[in-house]
Structure 1
Amino acid sequence: MTAAQCSRAGCRADAEWQVVWRNPRIHTPDRRKIWAACDEHVAFLRDYLATREFPVQVLRFDEAATS
């Protein structure tokens, strides 16, 4: 299985995190989008979405499988 790559532009690192989010202005509550993130960029991606007041949840890939 190929590891997911970080969603940050220009980053090709393996992702350890899932940044789960939605835009409440256009997505229904059951719709969630997922960005993959490496350790270096997880805070940047989370903060980028939180600044826009989007609901955001950060999970390790192994935690997401059991949630």
Structure 2
Amino acid sequence: LSLGRFSNYRVCRLHGVYNIKRYSNTVAKQVRADIVDSVRQTVTINYMTTNRAWFLVLSGTFSRPPR
């Protein structure tokens, strides 16, 4: 499963099988994630782009993105 990528954001690696519950329409542009293992858990990832915070909710564990 691949998600897009934000302009100021580097690709973060997500682990597990992800189910996108909901996200901001703007975030739908591009966010990229790599599925590595299967684990279930609800996590919220906060993406900061141009003074705006976007939230992406996924099912699974994830490693925090680089700053």
Q: TM-score normalised by the shorter chain: which range applies?
A: 0.3 to 0.5
Structure that is richer in helix per residue: 1
Q: Looking at both structures, which has the greater relative contact order when contacts are Cα pairs under 8 Å and sequence separation is at least 6?
A: 2
> Over alpha carbons, which structure has the higher Rg?
1
Structure that is richer in strand per residue: 2
TM-score if structure 2 supplies the norm length?
Answer: 0.34
